[in-house]
Chains A and B, each alone.
Chain A
Amino acid sequence: MDRRESLKTLIIGGAGTTMLLSCRIDDKPDTVGISENIESDFDYGRTPEEERWDENLMSEQFYTENELATMAILADIIIPGQGDYPPASKTGITDFIEFISKDIPEHQTPMRGGLRWLRTESHKRFDKDFTEISSEEQLKIVEDIAYPMDVKPQFSQAAIFFSRLRNLVTTGYFTSKPGIEFLGYMGNKPNVWDGVPQDVLDEHGLAYDEKMLKVAIKPEERNEIEDWNDYIV
């Protein structure tokens, strides 16, 4: 199979590999022989030891069903989604928090304890589990613990728990596919950088100076092989 053919077969590979194709801007890419490869679902360049470690963590279960259900409700309160963007629970948030709590065990006690506090609080106020009370009732509790700089003394520990949960939910959401789209991150793909767009420069009242414009790489020259013959240091 010639190289061009073998590159085509890459399309069946992971997202990253297909992207490499579009970066081959030059028409004669006599470069690396990226071999054929069909990637498994869960493969992101792990060494065998790392793969075992991940699998090991995934084979264990830390949170109970009730804890996960409580977390999913809270996650959707924190990140409810907007328009076409789904709420946190639809982006794998509980899987992520389950995994990271085993990967970074410092999360375990504060998370478990915080969820347990919430259960007690729900029973005290409404005589039911947090998963069984109405959304209005849920929000009543959340309102008391969601503002760490402005919290009543009796809720101080619970507010710290909620901040940790907010961190995990926020980070989980904004590292998920829909979250990244909502954020508007536009990179992680082959492209050609030619500086800040002109309208952005204008908006900020900034400009590239003459010297920079003269020396900076010109996109159309990027595939040339540098010739040092006339170069004087």
Chain B
Amino acid sequence: MSKSLRQARSEARGDIGACRDDFPALAQKINGAPLVYLDSAASAQQPVAVIDAVAEYHRHIHANVHRGVHTLSHRATEAYESARDEIAGFINAGNRREVVFTSGTTESINLVAQSFCRPRLRAGDRILLSQLEHHSNIVPWQLLCDQTGAELLVVPIDERGELDLATFERQIESGVKILAIAHVSNALGTVLPVADLVRRAKQQGVPVLVDGAQAVPHMPVDVQSLDCDFYAFSGHKMCGPTGIGILYAKEALLERMPPYQGGGDMILEVRFEGTKYNDLPYKFEAGTPNISGAIGLGAAVRYLSGIGMERIAEHESKLLQYLTEQVSRVPGIRLIGTARHKASVQSFLLDDIHPHDLGTILDHQGVAIRTGHHCAMPVMDFFRVPGTARASLALYNNRVDVDRLVESLAQAKEIFSQ
């Protein structure tokens, strides 16, 4: 059957299975077996549309942006800026001035910590995080604590991997200066009730940063309806290139924040007596940016929108349910992360097999999962495990992937039962 016919039929059924063919990396064999890629939470594969957009840029468009009268510079600037527009639309930002290109979630969070929070914090002030944060939403705040004498306050989680909301209620009223919280946990898959958390924080006048690295690839995200002040995410987890990401921030806040880094592009006028900074968002984009990355991310957003984030969310949610059911049936499985509302991720342990050994055995059968602490050591400490095995889904996964995972777990058991 031709691809377009197959695609048309499956689209008529409302399923997005045919999109798998758009990802050339998925068509290869690993260790003699067809690749089963279940590590999209670490980094997602890229569709041809993204690969081609980046290649086309390198072939015909490349020049520096915002600084040349020649044709290529103009084309590069247009491509770069229209990627910003696509991304602004994708997350429903108020306007394009609120969308800052960064190198990724990590840089976005550091930017907020240093530019927005650092001047406002005094010794003894509190920063509220949760126990399930990724290290990149912990360490920037610890650095800030060292610089200002502020303290971290941590919302606990329960055995399912859900936030302890009763404790949160008390903590948010205890003089917190910023709430920095994940939208979706990368280690457990928990979807946090971010809109509710933001509402409570607003009642206390607490600004909120949401780490959306694991949410944007898997569900529709509307930053205006969430009403958060800052929203950070990475291109490479949403089928875009590495080294590019976004900080969304409310315009009024960005206006008042000092630049994060100094350099070219972020200025209007430089004199040794003083420098006038550029308008938003350029004030926060010092130096030559990752132009091809931004263009690739724009293409990724167009690709995902073409399929539709609602459909992606529905597909992944059904598949995650299937995965969790199938994996639970394997004798000796312990699921880590059983929140009622989850996205994309299932962590687990099998018998007393160390996750790293499990990872090797699965890889040998072409099944790629992540093993270890997932840059979330406080989560591992909570569950008293050194690490977990984690299968994570994206739009291109299907039931065959899940079945292959389960088969390979059976083989791991067999090898370890000698």
Instruction: Decide whether A and B assemble into one complex.
Output: no
Instruction: Name B's A-contacting residues (CB within 8 A).
Output: none
